[in-house]
């Protein structure tokens, strides 16, 4: 995890505690920005993007892709009437 401290200095053990809290509260934190303002500290976590798979409802099934469908189900998909949104 990359840590940036701005606005002042804080001890390394305190930084380690902030890092542990960031990882616990926001798993996947790549960068932790610590902004020091006197007695106050603000933490800003930059989290790694999470890949996702698009899921659609096709012919009554929730699917991500149709690559594992058999020929009959693919034909059903081809015969499907698509309704536009007004």
What residue segments make up the domains of the chain, in order of their start? 2-47, 51-80
User: Residue 85 — pLDDT band, cuts 50, 70, 90?
Assistant: low
State pLDDT tens for residues 35-82: 999 889 999 999 888 787 777 777 677 777 778 888 888 888 788 777
- Tell me, what's the pLDDT at 28? 84
- With a cut of 70, say whether residue 86 has pLDDT above it: no
State pLDDT tens for residues 5-42: 999 999 999 999 999 999 999 888 899 999 999 889 99
Contact 22, 1 (CB under 8 A): yes
Task: Name 44's Cβ contacts closer than 8 Å, sequence gap at least 6.
Answer: 32, 33, 34, 35
Q: Among candidates 71, 39, 69, 66, which has minimal Cα distance to 54? A: 66
């Amino acid at each position: 995890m990359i840590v940036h401290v701005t606005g002042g200095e804080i001890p390394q053990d305190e930084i380690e505690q902030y890092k542990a809290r960031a990882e616990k509260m926001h798993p996947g934190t790549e960068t932790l920005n610590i902004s020091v303002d006197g007695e106050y500290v603000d933490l800003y976590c930059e989290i790694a993007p999470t890949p996702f798979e698009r899921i659609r409802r096709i012919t009554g099934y929730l699917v991500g892709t149709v690559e594992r469908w058999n020929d009959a189900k693919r034909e059903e998909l081809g015969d499907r009437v698509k309704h536009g949104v007004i």
